[in-house]
Amino acid sequence: MLLLIDWGSGRFAMWRGLLWLALAVLLFVVLFPVRVSAGEDWLAAQWMLRKRRVRTDVLVSVRCLDGVSQRLVLRDAFGARVVIDPVVLVTNPDLWHRFEAGARKAAADGLLLCGQTALRHLSARMDRETALAVFKASGLD
């Protein structure tokens, strides 16, 4: 759009075109969403050309990083690491249940050494969001 405005105003120059193109590419990279998928005992996050997968039944670490946006860092016993936004799990109950089943299995097996508190907080948040959705659907909000 900026290229067309520059061209239409008659002030288009090659350096300005490259600037607008670089800005468009940067905006695309920043706003490109991470696709999160899950199956039985695994969770994967795909961003552009990279896909990372972690086994949820052998999780050893779940950490919640605070900052501008919250991130959930998952590590399994094989060294795989996935970083996702916890909102993805909260807004997608099926994804949450698959993840939680694997994490509970890892905790029961004694593999989950770090992150049970983060899982409890995430579970409480999930329960809160579910209750709010039920109240809203029933007209009790």
CA dist 36 and 50 (Å) reads 12
> Could you give the angle at which helices 116-138 and 93-108 cross, rounded to 10 degrees?
150
pLDDT, position 84 = 92
Comparing 11-20, 114-123, 130-139, the range with the smallest average pLDDT is: 11-20
CA dist 42 and 30 (Å) reads 26
Could you tell me if 22 and 87 lie in one domain?
Answer: no
Q: Smallest Cα–Cα separation from 43: which of 97, 115, 121?
A: 97
Whole-model pTM: value is 0.74
Classify 71 as helix, strand or coil. Answer: strand
Range of the structural domain that residue 4 is part of? 1-32
Helix (H) or strand (E) holding 51: strand 50-55
Total domains in the chain come to: 2
Could you tell me if 28 and 38 lie in one domain?
Answer: no
Classify 1 as helix, strand or coil. Answer: coil
Could you tell me if 28 and 39 lie in one domain?
Answer: no
Could you tell me if 68 and 9 lie in one domain?
Answer: no
The sign one gets for the Cα dihedral 57, 80, 93, 100 is positive
pLDDT digits (tens, 9 = 90+) for 73-124: 999 999 999 999 888 988 888 999 999 999 999 999 999 988 888 888 888 9
Could you tell me if 96 and 40 lie in one domain?
Answer: yes
Could you tell me if 74 and 129 lie in one domain?
Answer: yes
